[in-house]
Amino acid sequence: MYTYKMIQQTRSFKLAAYIQGKPTADGLAIVLPGKLDTKDYAHMQSHVDFLAERGYLALSFDPPGT
């Protein structure tokens, strides 16, 4: 299993993501944090890990403004 921590810079913000799984996976799962959550909380990362173990490329990110 592959693990990525990515930071994408745009003109107005940085977008950080936690990504697990193979880039060639047949499915993509996006795990979105709730209003007061962040991608760094243990339960958010465990959802991503669980989905990656089942063959998905799974990711979670912190949307801008949260």
- Tally of domains within the chain: 1
What is the model's pTM?
Answer: 0.79
Q: Which domain holds residue 17?
A: 3-61
Name which residue leads in pLDDT, 5 or 30.
30
CA-to-CA dists, residue 47 to 9, 14, 20, 29, angstroms: 25, 23, 10, 10
- Residue 20 placed within a domain: yes
Q: Which tops the pLDDT comparison, 52 or 9?
A: 52
54 found inside a domain: yes
Residue 65 confidence (pLDDT): 63
